[in-house]
Amino acid sequence: MPDEKDIQAMLYLLDDSDERVVEEIEAQLLHLGREVLGFLEEQWPLMENAKRQESVLQVIKKIKARALCDELLDWKNTNEQDLLDGVLILDKLHNPAVDKQIIENKLDKIKLDAWLELNYDLTSFEKVKILNHIFFDVHQFKGDTENYHQSQNSFISQVLETKSGNPVSLAIIYSIIAQRLNIPVYGVNLPQHFVLGYIKDLEWQPIKRFNDKSILSDQEGAEIMFYINPFNSGLIFSRENIIQFLKQLNIEPKDSYFKACSNLEIIKRVLRNLLIAYEKESNPLKLEQVQDLLNILEE
């Protein structure tokens, strides 16, 4: 990191009457990025000048937003594109200090409760029935019908805390737990809804790297035995039910509506939900940040 005295001198110029000077200083601080983030966070509460303090706060927010974009781009470029890692990056929009270990502990508790009830001689329907009982009856997860578009329904840390979420967030948690129990459940990206599918071709073999996109690509055409709706207490339904659902929406069926989607598509879906949420919540700063993250994934 540059000398603290030099950074301090730069901060004093943030209330300069010449806007070009202020813009140049902001650009230099943004270029330094994470190197100066800790120092800026220490200094801004100590500043007596309100304009300078506000400028430093804005620089801090921009540095964090850029760091989040870099983190998501790194995730996109991994072979695994692990679902939990992806949603934890997005969770930082809500809680920058999110602790992965706390999330893991909560997921492991649900997994353990289900594992104690499972017998792997059970049929696929029996396994899902037990998982539904643990997830919805014991741990009392439910769909949030009252505040459906609320932004907090998209963040895994919040949903694990409140036990209430939207279709995508509930499906993410449900599928992660199922996969860790070697139950082959994937996300299915329906228009205006998000559900899960139980993949027949994976039923007999151990799922070693279930979230790996190279494995998923082999399974995108695999037969789905049945579908699960986590937003409706794990309701099990068929392909014919999806066809009927699409007819009601006047949407022409596509093959992709009946197949497993990638983790990349799931993260995109979460971001699109957040666009709607922040627009309804009149939060233009978060709206812009989410759009930047979505642009990274769609490039």
Rounded mean pLDDT for each run of 10 residues along the chain, 299 residues in total: 71 72 77 73 70 77 87 94 96 92 98 93 94 98 96 97 98 97 94 94 55 50 88 96 95 92 96 97 93 94
Amino acid identity of 279? E
**Per-residue buried b or exposed e for 108-129, using 16+ beta carbons within 10 Å of the residue's own CB:** eebbebbeeebeeeeebeebbe
271 and 257 Cβ atoms separated by less than 8 Å: no
Residue with tokens 């066809």: 243
Per DSSP, what are the bridge partners of residue 93?
A: none
CA 57 vs CA 14, 294, 298: distances in Å: 11, 24, 29
Tokens of 72: 């998501």
Strand runs (DSSP E) across 90-161, as ranges? 142-143
User: At 228, is the secondary structure helix, strand, or coil?
Assistant: strand
Taking the model in full, what pTM does it have? Answer: 0.85
278-285's contacts with Cβ under 8 Å and 24+ in sequence apart are 278/151, 280/149, 281/150, 281/151, 283/151, 285/61
* Nearest-angstrom CA–CA distance, 216 and 209: 9
Residues 267 and 194 sit within 8 Å (Cβ to Cβ): no
pLDDT at 214 (0 to 100): 47
User: Six-digit token pair at 48?
Assistant: 């007596």
Who contacts 232 (Cβ-Cβ below 8 Å, separation ≥6)?
A: 143
Nearest alpha-carbon partner for 176 in 190, 159, 193: 159
How far is it, in rounded angstroms, from Cα 78 to Cα 20? Answer: 40
Sorted by where each starts, the structural domains of the chain and their CATH numbers stand as 4-76 (1.25.10), 83-298 (no CATH)
In sequence order, the 6+-apart residues with CB closer than 8 A to the CB of 284 are 278
Angle separating helix axes 100-115 and 83-91, nearest 10 degrees: 140
- pLDDT attached to residue 264: 96
CA-closest candidate to residue 83, choices 171, 163, 144 = 171
Parallel, antiparallel, or unpaired for β 224-229 and 195-199? Answer: antiparallel
